[in-house]
Amino acid sequence: MYVATLITNPDAPTLNQTLVDSLRNAWGGGDIVWLSPDEAAEFSVSQVPDNQWDVWAELQKMGVDLVLQPTEGRRKKMLLADMDSTMIQQECIDELADEAGVGDRVKDITARAMNGELDFEGALTERVGLLKGLDEAVIAKVLAERITLMPGGQELVATMRATGGYAALVSGGFTAFTAKVGEALGFDENRANTLLAENGKLTGDVQHPILGRQAKVDALEQITARLGLSDADVIAVGDGANDLGMLGRAGTGVALHAKPSVAEKCDVRVNHGDLTALLYVQGYARSEFACA
């Protein structure tokens, strides 16, 4: 059996009964379960419909995300999450670059790297090099003034941990940010690159080895082995090309507001919902969300 889940933006929920009924009837689905009024609903189907992606494309125009997946095992025991543009709404290195006066140059490199056009490690090295000489205290300023959490993140982490799950934040960004963001959201652990500084100034380099695409896969393997879990027990979320390895390995890999070149390689795509969509995909109703 499979389950079809329809999700909209919780800030402007537009999912109506007629639309859900129509799709359920067209696909010969089971009873509709509303996970949240006007926001998220699901129904079972016996097989994946041939027109899944055609319907997905039409629903995208209506501001609705559609996810189809096997019913069995969809509630996961571990969350593996990217940070930049996933658990937070910004790219940390871009914000630091703005403070250093090289924002436009760095943002262009970031966008191309996240789209898979550039080698991640090379792009990170180039961008960090442009931060050379920046006052280390700027990191705290950026954290306080520029970084905002992605909506739904606190509910996601809190609910998964309340039901016995483990949450790991794995970023190609920097430990100075993952430590604070991880603590604010309640992650069990965080991994990222370390910006190097001397005499209160950034040196323009990071500690090696650089945590990139493979390091995220390594984190999945290491943490699941430590916890006695399998890849199938993991739900991973990210938006960039360096997340594709872990998204492909996880039992459920979610492309969240991802670059088109990334989303097209993932079966679960969330473009309109927020991070609570990862709970709806697992079958949680809003009434089951833990208080963040």
Containing H/E element for 9? none
Confidence of residue 118 (pLDDT cuts 50, 70, 90): confident
Query: In the chain, pLDDT over 90 holds for what percent of residues?
Result: 94
Provide the β-strand partners of residue 69: 3
Instruction: Look at residue 93 and tell me whether its pLDDT is greater than 80.
Output: yes
Instruction: Look at residue 106 and tell me whether its pLDDT is greater than 60.
Output: yes
Question: What CATH code would you report for 1-72?
Answer: 3.30.70
Burial of 231 (0-12, 13-18, 19+ CB in 10 A): middle
Give the architecture (CATH level 2) of 75-90+148-292: 3-Layer(aba) Sandwich (3.40)
How long a stretch of residues is the chain? 292
Residue 175 is encoded by which pair of tokens? 């430990």
**pLDDT confidence of residue 23:** 98
Q: Which of 82, 94, 243, 274 is catalytic?
A: 82
Containing H/E element for 238? strand 234-238
Confidence of residue 115 (pLDDT cuts 50, 70, 90): confident
Instruction: Look at residue 81 and tell me whether its pLDDT is greater than 60.
Output: yes
Pairing of strands 40-45, 33-36: antiparallel
Active site residue 82: yes
Instruction: Look at residue 292 and tell me whether its pLDDT is greater than 90.
Output: no
Active site residue 108: no
Instruction: Look at residue 291 and tell me whether its pLDDT is greater than 80.
Output: no
Burial of 148 (0-12, 13-18, 19+ CB in 10 A): exposed
Q: Which of 11, 50, 84, 108 is catalytic?
A: 84
Q: What is the mean pLDDT of the chain?
A: 96
Strand order in the sheet with 166-174: 189-193, 166-174, 78-81, 234-238, 252-256, 268-270
Chain segment 255-275, per-residue pLDDT in tens: 999 989 899 999 999 999 999
Provide the β-strand partners of residue 167: 79
Chain segment 23-59, per-residue pLDDT in tens: 999 999 999 999 999 999 999 999 999 999 999 999 9
Sequence spans of domains, the chain: 1-72, 75-90+148-292
Chain segment 157-203, per-residue pLDDT in tens: 999 999 999 999 999 999 999 999 999 999 999 999 999 999 999 99
Average pLDDT on 122-139 reads: 95
Containing H/E element for 45? strand 40-45
Instruction: Look at residue 70 and tell me whether its pLDDT is greater than 80.
Output: yes
